[in-house]
Structure 1
Amino acid sequence: MTDSTKYLQALEEFILLGKSAPGAAAVANIQKCISSPNCFVFAELLELPNVQALVNDAEHKKWVEALKLFAYGSYMDYKQQKSAASDSLPDLTDLQLTKLKQLSLITIASTEPHRLTYPSLQSLLDIPTTRLLEDLIISAVYASLLDAKLDTANQRVEVSSTAGRDVAPGDISNMIAALEGWSASCSSVLTEIEAQIASIQASAVAQRKEQLAYEKLVEEKRKTAEKDGSKGKRVMDHSDNTGFGLGEDEMDLDDGPFDDQGGARKSRKGGNKMFSRKR
């Protein structure tokens, strides 16, 4: 069960009573609701006809204003309005004031996070001691109103998330404008991302084409080199170590055409040619 569902279930009994409780009974129902330790949303109760009818009653309309503060106001608003006109709001009990301060922590964390220091919170919420402030914050954490840690060394409250509160009628247009601005920003970012992706893909295709063209050129050069190399081979038969071939009719002579006695030397192949020496 989510926190929002839990809060709505806690409110359900007060909605059922509010539908059939006019006048003073409606006021009593509001008082019980804002005192309940488990109820932290109030918009549906505020919208009931019996509650809205209290606006026309001078004696009871201040409880409608009090319910509005619990729905989307704060303890700071309560102090300001009471200071401006003491009879504009009822005097709240200590239990009701504590609950309003718990809800105010959500508002401060959401709208003015820079004020989440011990001195600032003590001043805003009229809390005299650090111990009482820490007790209030811990109670809000246990009620699932805040996800927070106390930094006692630096006298700060580190809030990572908060529960949602009821939306005031005048805030709806602001929320719509904020959501439209966020949507436009997201669309702009998506357009930029798509353009970058298209550019990267085009670059990859171009690089691939260049790589294929290069590989094709290398392959053509290799084939041409192999073809030219086979044509340039030199085949030599019956060659000696010098590379000059000797025919079958060529003679292999020793030092000269004469022997030691001056006679003619025969060829090693048995030829009959003779050489004579003049005397």
Structure 2
Amino acid sequence: MAGDPKHNNQLEQFILLAKNTKGPALITLIKQLLEAPGVYVFGEFLELPCIQQMSKGPNEGYSQLLNMFAYGTYHDYKAFKDTLPPLTETQKNKLRHLTIVNLAANMQVIPYSVLLKDLEVGSVRELEDLVIEAVYADVIRGKLDQCRQQLEVDACIGRDIRSQGMGRIASILTQWCGDCESMSASIEQEVGRVSHCRESHLKALQHIETEVGNIRRMMSATTSMSSQDMDPLGEQEGEGAMAGSGAERRQTPLQIISKAKSLNNQRH
């Protein structure tokens, strides 16, 4: 916007020149400042000792004119134009640009009717040309809606502020800080809630994994038992063989001799 370093440097050049200038040369410098493209803030220039002294002398009108560009509007100038120096066409348009900024700071959508009244231009075409100039001067950002006859504002530069308005700004900033603190507390509360939900989710997940492991072990044990139930005969034969072997191992010596004699008789 118009408050970028390039335009600030331009204002600083005028300030440096004014410190070593007085009389008619200072008045000429003020006129040049009011016409300089890109310079739309004047508070720092107004604080210069030479300008403060001018407000009490015969050239008081130029000090008042600077105040008009710093804080006022084109409508204000028209109301006091008989006591103020005349403006060139370039200066009039700059003051009109500042008037648009004044409106844009308070209205996001500005009807053509309001602009025509406050800028005191004779036609819609002239009004639209003036708004386009302000956009190219980078003092406002927005677009003209010719169908609805309105200016839709996206952003605008900040103007100089009187010392009396500092209290209101401080109040707004205090409220803004309070809102930020409330928002921060809400965010922290939400973070805590999310962390609690995450912990609960992890615990539930661990419980599910444990249950799945238990079910798998139960299924494995059931499968093993089913396999044994499907082969009872083999087990019985094995058990019989083992029982026979055991019976043979339990025979007495007399029984063994008797069995041997019997086998020998059968051979003869």
**Same amino acid, percent of matched pairs:** 32
Shift of 1:2: 7.4
Letter matched to residue 93 of structure 2 = T
Residue 150 of structure 1 aligns with which residue?
144
Q: What residue number does 1:63 align with?
A: 62
Task: Select the residue among 228, 232, 239 that pairs with 1:236.
Answer: 232
TM-score scaled to structure 1, two decimals?
Answer: 0.74
From the superposition, tell whether residues 229 and 32 of structure 1 become closer, same or farther in structure 2 (CA, over 3 Å).
closer
User: Per-residue deviation at 1:209?
Assistant: 0.8
Change (3 A) 1:202 1:93: same
Larger radius of gyration: 1
Could you tell me which residue of structure 1 aligns to residue 207 of structure 2?
213
Counterpart of 1:39 in structure 2 is 39
Alignment partner of 2:98 out of 78, 84, 103: 103
User: Partner of 1:10 in structure 2?
Assistant: 10
Q: CA deviation at 1:75?
A: 1.5
Contact 1:75/1:100 (<8 A) preserved: yes
Where relative contact order (Cα < 8 A, 6+ residues apart) is larger, the structure is 2
Aligned to 1:197: 191
Q: Provide the aligned C-alpha RMSD in A.
A: 2.8
TM-score (norm 2): 0.77
Look up the SS of the partner of 1:41 in the other structure.
coil
Give the match for residue 118 of structure 2.
Answer: 124
Query: Whose helix proportion is higher, 1 or 2?
Result: 2
- Count of residue pairs brought into register by the alignment: 236
Provide the secondary structure at the position in 1 that maps to 2:121.
coil
Point out where structure 1 has 5 or more consecutive residues left out of the alignment: 240-246, 248-279
Is residue 86 of structure 2 the alignment partner of residue 91 of structure 1? yes
1:95/1:224 CA distance change after superposition, 3 Å: closer
C-alpha distance in structure 2 between counterparts of 1:226 and 1:14, whole Å? 92
| 1:159 corresponds to | 153
What letter is aligned with 1:79?
K
Deviation string 1:30-78 (CA, Å, 9 cap, x unpaired) is: 2221123342221221111000011222x32222121012123221332
Kept in 2: contact 1:23–1:50 (CA 8 A): no
| Ranges in structure 2 where 5+ consecutive residues have no aligned partner | 241-268
Q: Distance in 1 between matches of 2:103 and 2:218?
A: 80
